[in-house]
């Protein structure tokens, strides 16, 4: 049987407008250090009134909230870089989408690039580098997904592989995996994140309110502030990529009902 595959990219998101005239219901509150979890053995520095985290670290809320596709959700929090630092702290702050089986949904499993569906020239064998045919819609980074459908049904798709070499001479294309096939999901969750240049925001030295909204679902590259297909619930994450300090307070997720 011939199997298709599609190249997939991570979904980026941008700030969204805030409607001040709406009914609001808090569905997740993460003000205390007991609301968060991080790597084994990691702890917050406990300071009255706010939390202080030192990177590199990825933090997630312990609790999740149900996601209803017709509802709009606002993620908000206050952040600052301590005045004792010379550089502002880079952060990612966003939603971690989860499917109905309580599995995190990585961008590689849902974010497709239109026009890249193709048919394998030879079967893929686990453990062996493999070459693929393709077309000029492909680019030189992203992920490859296997057993795809042209109408994008069946998402999330966990049969993905990353890190490939790409060559296109204007008429034909060849891809070769840099590592043996493993059929494992790629990196994790950035649906609905607040992001600046390079996918990160910088926390100013004074307390600054960050907020974004998310509603609906879509999968094609370039769509912003929507849930990944298959999202049933979500957590909140904070990622600090560098060995810098970040002050955090009043993180909320609010379900919005517009009048």
The model's pLDDT over 168-201, given as tens digits with 9 standing for 90+, comes to 666 666 666 666 655 443 333 344 445 444 468 8
18 versus 250: the higher-pLDDT residue is: 250
**How would you class 152 by CB atoms within 10 Å of its CB: exposed for 0-12, middle for 13-18, buried for 19 or more?**
middle
**How would you class 32 by CB atoms within 10 Å of its CB: exposed for 0-12, middle for 13-18, buried for 19 or more?**
exposed
CB of 239 closer than 8 Å to CB of 91: yes
Domains and CATH numbers, the chain: 4-10+106-177 (no CATH), 22-105+188-258 (2.60.120.260)
The model's pLDDT over 20-71, given as tens digits with 9 standing for 90+, comes to 555 889 999 999 889 999 887 777 776 778 999 999 999 999 999 999 878 8
Q: Comparing C-alpha atoms, which of 213, 233, 252 is closest to residue 32?
A: 252
* Predicted structure pTM score: 0.72
């Amino acid at each position: 049987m011939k199997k298709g595959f599609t190249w997939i990219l991570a979904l980026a998101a941008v700030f969204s407008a805030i409607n001040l005239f709406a009914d609001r219901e808090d569905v997740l509150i993460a003000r205390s250090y007991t609301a968060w979890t991080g790597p084994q053995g990691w702890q917050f520095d406990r300071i009255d009134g706010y939390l202080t985290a030192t990177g590199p670290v990825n933090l997630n809320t312990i609790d999740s909230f149900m996601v209803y596709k017709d509802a709009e959700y606002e993620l908000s929090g206050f952040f600052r870089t301590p005045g004792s630092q010379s550089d502002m702290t880079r952060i990612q702050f966003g939603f971690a989408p989860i499917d109905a089986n309580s599995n995190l949904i990585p961008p590689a499993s849902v974010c497709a690039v239109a026009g890249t569906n193709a048919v394998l020239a030879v079967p893929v064998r686990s453990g062996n580098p493999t070459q693929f045919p393709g077309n000029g819609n492909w680019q030189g980074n992203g992920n490859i997904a296997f057993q795809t459908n042209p109408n994008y049904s069946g998402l999330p798709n966990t049969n993905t592989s990353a890190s490939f070499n790409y060559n296109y001479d204007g008429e034909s294309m060849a891809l070769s995996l840099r590592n043996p096939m493993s059929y494992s999901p790629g990196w994790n969750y950035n649906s609905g994140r607040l992001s600046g240049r390079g996918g990160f925001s910088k926390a100013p030295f004074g307390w600054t309110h960050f907020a974004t909204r998310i509603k609906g679902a879509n999968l094609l590259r370039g769509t912003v502030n929507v849930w990944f297909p298959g999202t049933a619930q979500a957590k909140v994450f904070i990622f600090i990529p560098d060995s810098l300090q970040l002050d955090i307070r009043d993180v909320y997720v609010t379900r919005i009902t517009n009048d």
